Structure 1
Amino acid sequence: MTPLIRYPENDILPEDHNEARRIKKQAARYCISQEKLYWRSFSGPYLRCFTPREAARILVELH
């Protein structure tokens, strides 16, 4: 589980102060809905974030 998922779900941050601040800043641009991570875009709908494994599977299906 990545820090971007751990922080909004469980309020868990890294011990390093600078890293924790960076995660908080990044997490403001993301949301979690139905256990899936989405990026909040300015101009439109939320954009789904995929793991590298999911992305590879999707690329194989599309090509």
Structure 2
Amino acid sequence: MTPVYNYLAYGTLPSDQKEAAVTRRRACAYVILDGSLYRRGFSIPLLKCVEEERVDYILREIHEGINDQHLGGRSLARKALRAGYYWPAM
């Protein structure tokens, strides 16, 4: 997500021409609000993009935390989406 954030925030693109084209194409689905990157969706609200370091914590909190719902992988990912989070490997 760093190339997309850098492109939207500072207007800088990767030096590789193919990566720059991919970054430009992906950037249209994202927006920066108050310094945070959000993914826009057609029929869903803005989803906050999180760093990979926080993904494990978010999934553990949904799976074992206050909700304590031991969900399968696909259900867990959908619940994280409904909670307003997004990461590319979801």
When normalised by structure 2's length, the TM-score is 0.63
- Report what 2:22 is aligned to: 22
The answer to which of 51-60 and 13-22 deviates more is 51-60
5+ residue gaps, structure 2, are 65-90
5+ residue gaps, structure 1, are none
Mapped to 2, the partners of 1:19 and 1:55 lie a distance apart of: 25
Give % identity: 37
- Report what 1:54 is aligned to: 54
**Within 5 A, what are the aligned runs for 1:4-43?**
4-43=4-43
Larger Rg: 2
Mapped to 1, the partners of 2:31 and 2:39 lie a distance apart of: 6
Mapped to 2, the partners of 1:55 and 1:34 lie a distance apart of: 21
